[in-house]
Structure 1
């Protein structure tokens, strides 16, 4: 399940890079931009939902079964993930629908750049959560806070 989720993350990154690489956002015929943004928004919401409703729970359960449960670390990471979730939801609300995307097309390059930074941090936190369970020596909270 985690591997399928990480594969979905790779697809998300590919779509994000493709959108970032698009030029002429303000063309009169931005339909390809809309289609790619819509596909990205759908995958982004699927990825975020799977994390919260399936993967994080599974990882916490694995941590308990491997006796690597570190509730303080887990709470800290999950709390930091909330801000990137809020950013992803806001992006989706702004650009999911073609007509909204059309209205805000001039904002898309900056929003994509900001979202990329936010997702980069999110992916790092998720990786830390996974590694805290599956590596020999679980990281201490101080190492994750930096």
Structure 2
């Protein structure tokens, strides 16, 4: 996922300040994910469960990322598509419902882990992180399709 992010940053970085911010926030989310999951290159010194604070910070970053997409970035991307091409607008309108499906899983993860009434729930964390990673990877691919539409069909210089 980090490699794909680096490619996205190389391809679209610098074309629009909102997109730069969005990709930067994706990077922050991925770093927190890899740290929380204990995956390279952000492995833990000790083999231990993450702290509740680490989990809550990740949940906050996750909600911020999906919210930013829905309430800031997608609206601007769709508006740019609407202004420039009916084909782009139609493609964007097809992608957004697919992206929204991943939002539900992300919010379910947040609801489950942000309050953690029972620490026994941590036994499910690895499986839930794995499912979340698969969902978010699919989301990133869909988001990148939106970016590609704008990059190839429209000038996004801001």
Range into which the TM-score falls when normalised by the shorter chain: 0.7 to 0.9
Matched with 2:29 is 12
Alignment partner of 1:134 is 2:158: no
**Is the Cα–Cα contact under 8 Å of residues 29 and 58 in structure 2 kept in the other structure?**
yes
Report the CA distance between 1:103 and its aligned residue: 3.2
Alignment partner of 1:110 is 2:134: no
Secondary structure, in 3 states, of the residue corresponding to 1:24?
coil
User: TM-score scaled by structure 2?
Assistant: 0.75
**Is the Cα–Cα contact under 8 Å of residues 82 and 89 in structure 2 kept in the other structure?**
no
Report the CA distance between 1:136 and its aligned residue: 4.2
Alignment partner of 1:50 is 2:68: yes
Secondary structure, in 3 states, of the residue corresponding to 1:135?
helix
4+ long deviations beyond 6 Å: none
Report the CA distance between 1:111 and its aligned residue: 0.2
Mapping for residues 1-146 of structure 1, pairs under 5 Å:
1-21=18-38, 23-25=47-49, 32-65=50-83, 67-69=84-86, 70-100=88-118, 102-136=119-153
User: TM-score scaled by structure 1?
Assistant: 0.81
Gaps of 5+ in 2: 1-17, 39-43
Report the CA distance between 1:72 and its aligned residue: 2.4
Report the CA distance between 1:44 and its aligned residue: 0.7
The number of equivalent residue pairs is 129
Distance, in Å, in 2 between the alignment partners of 1:110 and 1:5 is 27
Report the CA distance between 1:83 and its aligned residue: 1.3
Cα deviation code 1:109-135 (max 9, x no counterpart): 000001000000000100101111111
Gaps of 5+ in 1: 26-31, 138-146
